[in-house]
Amino acid sequence: MKKLILFLLLFSFALNLNSQTTREYSMMLEAKVESKPSPKITIMWNKNPKASRYEVWRTESAITKTTFLGTIDTSKLEYVDNDIKAGSIYEYNVRAITKYPGKSPALEVSAIGYITSSVGSEPTYNSGKVLLLIDKTMKESLKNEIARLIQDMKNEGMTVIEKYVPRSEKFNKDSVTFVKNIVLAEYAKDEINLSTIFILGRVPVPYSGDLNPDAHPDHKGAWPCDMYYGSMDESRWQDWQVTSSGTSRDENKNVSGDGKFDLTTLPNDMNIQLQVGRVDMFNMPAFKDSETELLRKYLDKDHKYRIGETKPKKQALISDNFGVLGDYEAFASSGWRGFPLLVGKDNVTTGTWFDKLGTDSYLAAYGCGGGSYSSCSGLGTTTDFTTKPVNAVFILMFGSYFGDWDSQNNILRAPLASQPNALTCAWDGRPNWFMNDFAFGETIGYEANKAMNNDGSSYAYVLLRQFQGTDYTQGGSGPGAVNNGMNRKVHIALMGDPTLRLNEFSNVIVPTNLSIFQKGYKSIELNWSCLSGDVDYEFDIYRKTDPNSVFVKINSKPVITKTYIDNFNFAGDVQYMVRTRELQLSPSGSRYNYSLGATNTATIKDLTDVTEVNSNELFSVTPTVVSDNCNITYTLPNENNINIDVLDVSGLVEVLTGI
């Protein structure tokens, strides 16, 4: 009864809206770019009825310098930036400025938006290392699906470290420590390249803090805290201070020495180093399939998306069942602010979730409403996810209780167990998430990490006010920036595969039939095919000599032929990858996208003692066109053994040794 009363109070408060909608708290941005006669970025936005003027700010990513570009009157809905360099990446912040008479303190910023843009920027070619932490009970039953996942990630340029860890269905501090020690050991080996932790299955769940970001008194205590695995500063995670035992869920109780940490808010000098995401189907009995089968079906969805078989429409759905809470808190503004960057500002629509998601296809969806652990008012219940289609890939949700995701039939995890397309879900509203870097080529795990570390100044993000209290903490790079008090809290988490990107790469032709053969001393030749028709594609070439290292790009300029000579002095196994690169337009600008990679490995011989001679003087081959047998005649300047490599157009045919 207590939960029900609190739920009704919160929901009724949400209905006491001011005259501004959550859409009006967001600047819905889009970019138009031109490369000739000189590079130019035009930032466009929706008209804000409350605005008295607009302000435009720009941060150049390479130097993290923020510049005020100017004030725009309300008759104009765009800003043209001619002072840019082709290939450089810029982040723009557009603000609607409005005076609110009678508010104390007076706020000027009524709406904000962020967009990352460029004219022809290069893609990130080093995707880094991914630590795949897998529930060891799934090792055999999901062997094929896990192998496919790893190969998919490798095809996108990632290096995968595969670790099987003990399962823990209930909180177990020793199991958490065991897993964390694995993470610390891998980070110590290569802290530069290890970027991401992908948790698959019932891997032990850390807990931390004394917080209730949904503002319910019976929900104040420790919340599940996967960000702990991404933190490399063990000294900050203590367990001696917090005493919180009045929660309705036993897992939220937190007392000294129980293995649940004290940390509630990240200190200003502390960041989470690694991106973290979890796919965990434990304790979801509402679904008829077993936990193993739910994981299998998720990995099937993941694979189909990665290879481009799943092609969601470039549109997004918002179901806002809160509106503006109190004076300024607008949860659904995250969707209005972020989705235009993914699909275009004219392709963001509203509607009832399961009606829309069951009959049409969407790249992204946002939904919020009064909640319980297994329900969200205006959206539905976990049971709805068991039978109704969810045709959206990237999902954001917000409501009471279910942000505490380690609970039975939790609705935040339900989209991952649903069919046919949902792959990620996050509790977005306290704090707001931002999608501008995801829209421009970064992973969804990158955005999760950004949400964890966002202090209101490092990214210059303007957040909305805290639910309780009227204190506005100034932050950001310009006037009027505020925080909502929920940023850098330990509850921030990503459900789903953190390595996923927007799948524009699925439209880029994949190279095939990569062959490698050694031509001679310091000379390795690569050849490949590409079903490009009359289209002239560009390619990038990558190499690594250690299977546990990351691929390194070796061409200084794009390769425009289907062959490449690597002047590389090396003996042993070497792996190459070739990827097609193509300039593509998006609602955020233009950048090069990669195809999946074509890979192959060859064993290179040590030829450092080989003397190069003029073969025309010493060798003759008859006949010159060979179908079966040929005669090889040679003369040596001194007595010695030689090796003759016999090759045809496809590579090495035979090695004649010790002649």
> Domain with 274 in it: what CATH number?
3.40.50.10390
Confidence check: pLDDT of 658 > 90? no
Count of H-run helices and E-run strands, the chain: 11, 36
Q: Report the chain's mean pLDDT, rounded to a whole number.
A: 86
Give the range among 121-135, 252-266, 291-305 with minimum mean pLDDT. 121-135
pLDDT band at 643 (very low <50, low <70, confident <90, very high): low
pLDDT in tens, 322-349: 998 876 688 999 999 999 999 999 999 9
Does 168 score more than 60 pLDDT? Answer: yes
CATH of the domain at 581: 2.60.40.10
Are 647 and 545 contained in the same domain? no
Q: First and final CA of the chain: distance in angstroms?
A: 91
Same domain? 249 vs 149: yes
In a domain, 2, yes or no: no
d(CA 388, CA 134): 29
* Residue 109: per-residue pLDDT: 67
Give the per-residue pLDDT at 126: 65
In a domain, 28, yes or no: no
Report pLDDT for 408: 98
Residue 54 lies in a domain: no
Range of the domain at 652: 615-656
593 and 634 in a single domain? The answer is no
Q: Clarify whether residues 633 and 521 are in a common domain.
A: no
Tell me the CA distances in angstroms from 204 to 167, 218, 447, 563, one per residue in order.
Answer: 6, 24, 23, 48
Residues 574 and 630 placed together within one structural domain of the fold: no
pLDDT digits (tens, 9 = 90+) for 596-625: 899 999 999 876 655 555 555 556 666 766
Q: Is the pLDDT of residue 590 over 80?
A: yes
- Grouping H, G, I as helix, E, B as strand and the rest as coil, residue 247 is coil
Per the model's pLDDT, the better-predicted residue between 259 and 245 turns out to be 259
pLDDT at 456: 63
pLDDT tens digits for 60-92? 877 777 889 999 999 999 999 999 999 999 999
**Are residues 280 and 208 both part of a single domain?**
yes
Whether residue 164 sits in one domain with residue 285:
yes
User: What pLDDT shows up at residue 15?
Assistant: 40
149 and 266 assigned to the same domain: yes
Which tokens is 116 given? Answer: 């990352």
Total domains in the fold of the chain? 3
109-123, 374-388, 429-443: least confidently modelled range:
109-123
Place of tokens 């429409």: 313
Mean pLDDT of the 460-478 span:
29
The mean per-residue pLDDT over the stretch 532-554 comes to 87
Residue 184, CA distances (Å) to 189, 228, 273, 332 in order: 9, 11, 11, 37
Confidence class for position 537, pLDDT limits 50, 70, 90: confident
Q: Does position 383 have pLDDT exceeding 70, yes or no?
A: yes
Q: What is the pLDDT of residue 640?
A: 59
- pLDDT (tens digit per residue) in 397-434: 999 999 999 999 999 999 999 999 999 999 999 999 99
As a whole number, mean pLDDT of residues 265-293 equals: 97
436 domain residue, yes or no: no
d(CA 177, CA 182): 9
Q: Using alpha carbons, select from 56, 46, 57, 53 the residue that is nearest to residue 97.
A: 53
